[in-house]
Amino acid sequence: MSTFTIFLALIIIVAFLLVVVIMVQNPKGGGLSSAFGGGANQIGGVQKTSDFLDKSTWTLATLLLVLILLSNVTIMDGNGMGESKIMNGETEVESNVPAPIQTPVETPAEEN
């Protein structure tokens, strides 16, 4: 398994977790803590849920960005060279499509 495949799997997992954490939050500030009846005066339970969700959102977003940047470093072409052909001036694109067969065109003889 290549390094890029591992990074790709981690990116998918972190992105899914980020979506879940964002969906749990309430945009009006109540979030998960208000669903459990959590007010500022609650003695046990979920008092700091919104702080946890905020921190986990920022942490997952930062982790996702770092994983994307690191996966970009691991991308290599088929022969193991990480250099771009365009950057080296090689602009010709190879193709497996055969060239079309050209038949000579007969021109009618001019009558004088």
> What are the residue ranges spanned by the domains of the chain?
3-39+47-74
Question: pTM of whole model > 0.85?
Answer: no
Instruction: Return per-residue pLDDT of the chain as tens, 112 residues.
Output: 788 889 999 999 999 999 999 888 876 655 555 555 555 544 445 556 778 888 999 999 999 999 999 988 888 644 555 555 556 666 665 667 777 777 777 777 766 5
Other residues' Cβ atoms within 10 Å of the Cβ of residue 52: 14
| Rg of the chain in Å (alpha carbons) | 29
**DSSP annotation of 76:** -
**DSSP annotation of 26:** -
Q: What is the rounded CA–CA span in Å between residue 21 and residue 50? A: 11
- What are the phi and psi torsion angles at 77 (to 5°)? -85, 180
**Would you state the structure tokens that stand for residue 22, as one six-digit string?**
């964002």
